[in-house]
C-alpha cells in the first residue's frame, strides 16, 4: 500500500511550529519539523518529504535563503512560505525564486490544509518508485486521478506515445479500493490480431488448434482488480464489438465456451490517438468510445510540463546508474539546461532512454551535456526549423515547426540511423514495432515517406 511522505514545517517560533504540526496531524497528515533553515537542510539530507512549509523571517538563515537552497538541491520539492502582511514584498520575491505560494499570517487551519492539498507531491507508489509531479500541470493531473481512483469509474487516458499512461494507470489502481487486487495490463498494439481475442477473453480446451487446455483471459485475471487496455484504438473493429458487449454486460465468455463469467473489475483504457478523429475515420466504434470515455484524463506531453523534465532525468539517472554500478552520477548545469531546451517528441520514454545512454557515455561522476547526445531537432516547441529541411527519406518536410512534424522527422531520422530496422528504431524511440508501422503507414499515405 502507498506510503505518504510527511510535510516539513520550518518555523523558529516553537509555539507556532507546534500549532501547525498539530493542525496537520489532526487532519491525518504526517509532519516533521525544524527550528530553522540549516536544521531543515540537514533533515532533508536523510528524510524525504512531500512539501516544505517555511516561515520567511528566521535567523540566521531566512526563508528566502532556504527556498533558494532547496531549489538548488531539490528542484522537484514544492515550497510554501508563511509571511506577515508587512513582508508581502518579500513574498513576491519568494514567488520569483520558485515558491509555489505563500500564506499570510495569521491564517486559518483550513487555508493551511488547502495549500497542502494543492501543492504537496503525490505519495510513493508500490516499492520505491516515486511519481514525479513537480510541474503544476502534473500536480493537477494526479489530483484528478486521485479523486477518480476512489470510484470504480472507467477511465480513459490519452496522450502522445511515451507520456507515462501506464504509470498513471498504476497510480489510479494503487489509490483505489482494489489496490490489493491484481493490476493486469495488455498492449492491444503488441499482440497479433489473431491472438488478441483469446488473450483478452480466454479460451476453452479444444477451442482452436493448439488449445490443449483451458486458459483464463486478461479480463478474468483482473478479477477484483484493475485491467489496463493499452492502445485500445489498435484493436480490430470486429473485436471492438465483442469488447463493447463485455463492458455492457459485465461478463465475459471464453473462446469456445458457453458459460459466461461475471466480472468484477475496474477498467482503464489508453490511446495515443485523437479519439474523436479515430471515430470519424472509422478506426474506433463510436459506441465503444462513449463506453470508455466516462472519465477522460488527457496527459500533457513532457514539453507541456517542463518542471518535470530535470527531476525525471535525475530519477532515471539514479535508477540506471545504480544498476550499472555508478550510483554517484549527477547532472551538470549545462546538461540540465540542454534537457530543459529539448523538445522531447518521444516524451518520458525518450528521456529515460537518453539518461540510460548517458550512464554509459559519461566519463566522470558528472554528466555533461555532450554525454546526452540529444537528437538534432529544434529544442523548443514552436521553433522554426532550418529552411527546406530534408527528411532521411528524401522528402521536403513541412516548415510549420509544429510537434507532429518534429515527431515525424525524429522518427524518420531514427529509422535511418537504425539502417531501416523497424525493430531497432522502435527500441530507440521507446515505441512498439506495431505503433511504428502504423505511423510509417500514415506518413506513406500522406506522401511524406517512401520507405
Residue 341 falls inside a structural domain: yes
Least confident of 76-90, 230-244, 300-314, 392-406: 392-406
| Pair 143, 207 in one domain | yes
Q: What is the number of other CB atoms lying within 10 angstroms of the CB of residue 111? A: 12
What's the pLDDT at 75? Answer: 61
**Same domain assignment for residues 306 and 259:** no
Q: Are residues 215 and 281 in the same domain?
A: yes
Confidence of residue 86 (pLDDT cuts 50, 70, 90): low
> Looking at the structure, do residues 105 and 211 belong to the same domain, yes or no?
no
Same domain (yes/no): 289, 315: no
For residue 339, being part of any structural domain is answered with: yes
Per-residue CA distances from 115 to 19, 62, 161, 322 (Å)? 16, 21, 33, 35
- Residues across the chain: 451
Final residue in a domain of this structure, among 372, 389, 414: 372
Average pLDDT (215-244) is 93
Q: How confident is the model at residue 393 (pLDDT cuts 50, 70, 90)?
A: very low
pLDDT tier, 227 (very low <50, low <70, confident <90, very high otherwise)? very high
Instruction: Output the domain CATH number for residue 356.
Output: 1.10.8.60
pLDDT of residue 104: 86
Asked if the structure places residue 145 within a domain, the reply is yes
In sequence order, the 6+-apart residues with CB closer than 8 A to the CB of 291 are: 154, 244, 247, 248
Of 84, 119, 154, at which residue does a domain stop? 119
Instruction: Report yes or no on whether pTM surpasses 0.85.
Output: no
Confidence of residue 397 (pLDDT cuts 50, 70, 90): very low
| CATH code for the domain of 183 | 3.40.50.300
Domain count, the chain: 3
Instruction: Indicate if 154 and 279 belong to the same structural domain.
Output: yes
Residue with the bigger pLDDT between 30 and 193: it is: 30
The CATH number for 95's domain is: 3.40.50.2300
| One domain, residues 161 and 245 | yes
Does 291 share its domain with 308?
A: no
Least confident of 208-212, 352-356, 385-389, 405-409: 385-389
- Residue 355 maps to a domain: yes
Same domain, 265 and 169: yes
Residue 245 forms part of a structural domain = yes
Domain assignment of residue 381, yes or no? no
Q: Which of 68, 84, 119 is the last residue of a domain?
A: 119
Domain that holds residue 29: 7-119
Residue 125 lies in a domain: no
pLDDT in tens, 288-297: 999 999 999 9
Same domain, 290 and 144: yes
CA atoms within 13 A on the CB side of 192: 2
205 by Cβ neighbours in 10 Å (0-12 / 13-18 / 19+) ranks as exposed
Q: Which of 204-208, 378-382, 383-387, 397-401 has the highest mean pLDDT?
A: 204-208
Q: Using the structure block, give the residue that is written with the C-alpha cell 523538445.
A: 343
Residues 141 and 249 in one domain: yes
406 within domain boundaries? no
| Distance in angstroms (rounded) separating the CA atoms of residues 78 and 154 | 31
Same domain, 187 and 320: no
Q: Is the pLDDT of residue 385 over 90?
A: no
Mean local confidence (pLDDT), 194-203: 87
Amino acid at each position: 500500500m502507498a506510503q505518504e511522505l510527511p510535510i516539513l514545517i520550518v518555523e523558529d517560533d516553537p509555539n507556532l511550529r507546534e500549532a501547525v504540526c498539530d493542525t496537520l496531524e489532526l487532519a491525518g497528515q504526517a509532519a516533521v519539523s525544524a527550528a530553522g533553515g540549516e536544521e531543515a537542510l540537514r533533515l532533508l539530507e536523510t528524510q524525504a518529504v512531500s512539501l516544505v512549509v517555511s516561515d520567511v523571517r528566521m535567523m540566521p538563515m531566512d526563508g528566502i535563503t532556504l527556498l533558494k537552497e532547496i531549489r538548488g538541491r531539490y528542484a522537484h520539492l514544492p515550497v510554501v512560505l508563511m509571511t506577515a502582511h508587512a513582508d508581502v514584498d518579500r513574498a513576491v520575491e519568494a514567488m520569483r525564486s520558485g515558491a509555489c505560494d505563500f500564506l499570510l499570517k495569521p491564517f486559518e487551519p483550513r487555508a493551511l490544509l488547502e495549500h497542502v492539498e494543492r501543492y504537496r507531491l503525490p505519495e510513493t507508489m508500490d516499492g520505491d518508485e516515486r511519481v514525479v509531479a513537480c510541474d503544476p500541470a502534473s500536480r493537477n493531473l494526479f489530483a484528478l486521478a486521485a479523486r477518480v481512483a476512489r470510484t470504480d469509474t472507467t477511465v480513459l487516458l490519452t496522450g502522445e506515445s511515451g507520456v507515462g499512461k501506464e504509470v498513471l494507470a498504476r497510480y489510479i489502481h494503487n489509490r483505489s479500493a482494489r489496490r490489493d487486487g491484481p493490476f493486469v495490463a495488455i498492449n492491444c498494439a503488441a499482440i497479433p490480431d489473431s491472438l488478441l481475442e483469446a488473450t483478452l477473453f480466454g479460451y476453452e480446451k479444444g477451442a482452436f488448434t493448439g488449445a490443449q487446455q483451458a486458459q483464463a483471459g486478461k479480463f478474468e485475471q483482473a478479477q477484483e482488480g484493475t485491467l489496463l487496455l493499452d492502445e485500445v484504438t489498435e484493436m480490430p473493429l470486429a473485436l471492438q464489438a465483442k469488447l463493447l458487449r463485455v463492458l455492457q454486460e459485465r461478463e465475459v465468455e471464453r473462446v469456445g465456451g458457453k458459460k459466461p463469467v461475471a466480472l468484477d473489475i475496474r477498467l482503464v483504457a489508453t490511446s495515443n490517438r485523437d479519439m474523436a478523429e479515430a471515430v470519424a475515420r472509422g478506426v474506433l466504434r463510436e459506441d465503444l468510445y462513449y463506453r470508455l470515455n466516462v472519465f477522460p484524463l488527457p496527459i500533457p506531453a513532457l514539453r507541456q510540463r517542463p518542471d518535470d523534465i530535470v527531476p525525471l532525468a535525475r530519477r532515471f539517472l539514479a535508477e540506471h546508474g545504480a544498476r550499472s554500478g555508478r550510483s554517484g552520477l549527477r547532472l551538470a548545469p549545462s546538461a540540465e539546461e540542454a534537457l530543459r531546451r529539448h523538445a522531447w517528441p518521444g516524451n518520458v520514454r525518450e528521456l529515460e532512454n537518453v539518461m540510460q545512454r548517458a550512464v554509459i557515455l559519461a566519463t566522470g561522476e558528472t554528466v555533461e551535456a555532450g554525454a546526452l547526445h540529444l537528437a538534432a531537432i529544434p529544442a523548443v516547441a514552436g521553433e522554426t526549423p532550418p529552411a527546406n529541411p530534408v527528411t532521411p527519406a528524401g522528402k521536403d518536410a513541412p516548415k510549420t515547426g509544429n510537434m507532429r512534424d518534429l515527431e515525424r522527422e525524429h522518427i524518420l531520422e531514427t529509422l535511418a540511423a537504425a539502417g531501416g530496422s523497424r525493430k531497432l528504431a522502435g527500441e530507440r524511440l521507446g515505441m512498439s514495432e506495431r505503433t511504428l508501422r502504423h505511423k510509417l503507414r500514415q506518413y506513406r499515405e500522406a506522401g511524406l515517406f517512401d520507405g
